Amino acid sequence: MPFWLTVAIGIGGSVVGGVIAEIFFGRPGSFLLAYISSIALVIVYRRFVQRRPVFGPEAKKRPTRGWGLRR
């Protein structure tokens, strides 16, 4: 995964985590929710964009799909 995509997923996770904290707890921001949201975004990226599993032997193979791959 390229650096720019890592940063984008981290920022996206922070935004999603902040929105969830605001909706459910009535206060903005939560490091734990931002962290969990970022992990969830990485899992979604691997499953639906790269179409590969998150765990197991197939997860260790190099991706053939996704953004930032040299063709």
* Domain residue extents for the chain: 3-52
Mean pLDDT of the region 52-62: 87
Angle of helix 3-25 versus helix 31-44 axis, rounded to 10: 130
Residue 57: pLDDT above 70?
Answer: yes
- At 71, the pLDDT band (50, 70, 90 cuts) reads low
Give residue 67's pLDDT. 77
Q: Rounded to whole angstroms, how far apart are CA atoms 13 and 39?
A: 8
Residue given tokens 């734990």 in the structure block? 32
The pTM score is 0.79
Instruction: Residue 20: count other Cβ atoms within 10 Å of its Cβ.
Output: 15
Place of tokens 């490091």: 31
Could you read off the pLDDT of 6-53 as tens digits, one per residue? Answer: 899 989 999 998 898 889 888 877 788 889 999 999 899 889 988 888
Phi, psi of 29, deg, nearest 5: 75, 140
